[in-house]
Amino acid sequence: MDEKFILALDQGTTSSRTLLVDSKGTIRGTSQMEFKQIYPKAGWVEHDPEEIWASQWTTIWKVMEDARIDFSQIAGIGITNQRETTIIWDKMSGTAIGNAIVWQDKRTAPICEQLKSKGLEDYVRENTGLVIDSYFSATKIRWMLDEVDGAQKKAEAGELLFGTVDTWLIWKLTGGKAHLTDYTNASRTMLFNISTLEWDPFLLEQLNIPHSMLPAVKPSSGLFGYFKDEGHRIPICGVAGDQQAALFGQACLEEGMVKNTYGTGCFMLMNTGDNKVISKNGLITTLACSTGENIQYALEGSVFVAGSAIQWLRDGLKILKNAADSEKMAAEAAGCEDLFVVPAFAGLGAPYWDMYARGAIFGITRDTTGAQLVKATLESMAYQTRDVLEAMAEDSGIKVKSLKVDGGAVVNNYLMQFQADILNVPVERPEVVETTAMGAAYLAGIHLDWWDYRIIMADRRIDREFTPVMDSDKRQTLYHKWQDAVRRTRGWAEK
């Protein structure tokens, strides 16, 4: 019999990708296509929903063509996606009423201020796990209903549908038959009640958003509908937002397990099991992937500037030729421990949430070299990660035993060793760093009975474990200095 595969669709912010995964969990093909970023005004970011779909579809075809297979060999489809990005379309024609408003888009900040002035912050935190912010979908929906001619009326007449990108792809793949999302994506809208697992009637009323626009919500592993092609019926059976999919793909399936992704920024998620931990330290509470009705929660913290500080050294200061050179340069600067870089280029994220903080370099002397600056910048990623991890430990009462890592910067051995040292926790780098797409593949494979939790946990292979070697006095001194440096950057832009 012909070999069977899962298609893992990874719809990201800058590109759409599809991975072909076999029944052993091995990646057998990859295809990727970038699409247009639309910046109509400062602070606005849009995508063309049809281009999102077309680029995704192209990668599906390409990956199958390269592997010389057709849909008869596809057992199931998993989807992971950029989160929060908002699309509204006409139920009858399937046409979007405008471009997708992307998660980074800040145009709805004034709507967020209105919600705050109504005193909704505590309610939102308690019930959605989130802080009121323009990232999340709710205010983007409000904006479209206000700004697109006749949209509110049509929405009230039940003629419009809302979806995050997963919902849009499911709609397209099923030919408009399924209007669905999963718990992880729903939990990023700021409209979903993460305790009752229903759209929150009070918030819908406050934002004047008709319930009829919203997709039905399901566990991440399960049947979402079928894609049909020439007599083949392929189940779409795994769906999760990108960070939650990465948590799953890293096999962080039990309470207390944590992953950190080092990309442009850092995203850390901790599985908190069935405990809905509401943060006192600037983290958000979100739904993790679930494979049945048993819900798992996660705490999430993000750092705005991580790998992008390395890009700054390369493209801005031009003291690096490429990102990979940073490892060698940091090693060259060994022994220099007095230089600290706080890359608060756009304020500070978790756990500080200070939009007025600005970047600074501390400890410069006449001898300071470019290599030392590179080393201190790499170290800032590790310090910021410790800040978030400490907040998680405090909120959850869980002492973390190891940190699982992924993302573009984890190839840097200097960074990984320093991370282990400054946390005093082992850092595990997996062999397969495609954790996001693999998360979607696993979710689909669980529904297909290809795998279960045990197999996924047992199959995860570690490329390298970095164990802490720094002595504790030194660790403490360095971290105190970092905290002091951060303190001195706070509130700068206000003055």
User: Which CB, 112 or 433, lies closer to ligand ADP?
Assistant: 433
Query: Is residue 412 close enough to count as binding ligand ADP by CB under 6 A?
Result: yes
Contact 217/197 with Cβ under 8 angstroms?
A: yes
Exactly one of 263, 363, 370, 426 binds ligand ADP (CB under 6 A); that residue is 263
User: Which CB, 279 or 435, lies closer to ligand ADP?
Assistant: 435
Report, in Å, the least distance between residue 58 CB and ligand ADP.
20
Size of the site for ligand ADP (CB under 6 A): 15
Nearest residue to 245 via CA among 12, 52, 6, 4? 12
Question: Exposed e or buried b for every residue in 327-347, given b needs 16+ CB within 10 A?
Answer: bebbeebeebbebbbbbbeeb
Nearest residue to 410 via CA among 270, 299, 306? 306
Name the residue with the smallest CB distance to ligand ADP: 408
* Count of CA atoms in the C-beta half-sphere (13 A) of 456: 23
Q: Please, which of residues 311-340 interact with ligand ADP by CB under 6 A?
A: 311, 323-324, 326-327
Query: Is residue 370 close enough to count as binding ligand ADP by CB under 6 A?
Result: no
Query: Is residue 310 close enough to count as binding ligand ADP by CB under 6 A?
Result: yes
Phi-psi region of 65 (alpha: psi -120 to 50; beta: other; left: phi over 0): alpha
Query: Is residue 30 close enough to count as binding ligand ADP by CB under 6 A?
Result: no
Report, in Å, the least distance between residue 406 CB and ligand ADP.
8
| Start-end of H helices in 347-410 | 370-396
Stretch that binds ligand ADP, among 169-177, 249-257, 278-286, 406-414 (CB under 6 A): 406-414
Stretch that binds ligand ADP, among 164-172, 250-258, 303-311, 447-455 (CB under 6 A): 303-311
Residue 178 phi, psi dihedral angles, 5° rounding: -120, 130
User: Which CB, 349 or 407, lies closer to ligand ADP?
Assistant: 407
Exactly one of 76, 222, 225, 307 binds ligand ADP (CB under 6 A); that residue is 307
Report, in Å, the least distance between residue 225 CB and ligand ADP.
29
Tokens found for residue 153: 């009326």
Report strand pairing: 258-262 vs 87-90. Answer: unpaired
Alpha carbon dihedral 325, 328, 329, 334, in 10-degree steps, equals 160
Exactly one of 210, 370, 408, 426 binds ligand ADP (CB under 6 A); that residue is 408
**What count of residues does the chain have?**
495
Query: Is residue 409 close enough to count as binding ligand ADP by CB under 6 A?
Result: yes
Task: Name the strands in the sheet holding 232-241, side by side, starting at the edge strand that comes first in the sequence.
Answer: 27-34, 15-22, 5-11, 74-81, 232-241, 221-229
User: Which CB, 32 or 308, lies closer to ligand ADP?
Assistant: 308
Write the single-letter amino acid at 185: N
Query: Is residue 308 close enough to count as binding ligand ADP by CB under 6 A?
Result: yes
Nearest residue to 143 via CA among 204, 188, 209? 209
Exactly one of 235, 407, 430, 445 binds ligand ADP (CB under 6 A); that residue is 407
Alpha carbon dihedral 303, 192, 289, 144, in 10-degree steps, equals -70
Report, in Å, the least distance between residue 324 CB and ligand ADP.
4
Report, in Å, the least distance between residue 250 CB and ligand ADP.
14
Nearest residue to 492 via CA among 375, 352, 311? 352
Query: Is residue 176 close enough to count as binding ligand ADP by CB under 6 A?
Result: no
Report, in Å, the least distance between residue 12 CB and ligand ADP.
7
Stretch that binds ligand ADP, among 93-101, 304-312, 360-368, 485-493 (CB under 6 A): 304-312
Q: What is the DSSP letter of 45?
A: -
User: Which CB, 242 or 354, lies closer to ligand ADP?
Assistant: 242
Query: Is residue 341 close enough to count as binding ligand ADP by CB under 6 A?
Result: no
Residues found near ligand ADP in the complex (CB under 6 A):
263-264, 307-308, 310-311, 323-324, 326-327, 407-409, 411-412
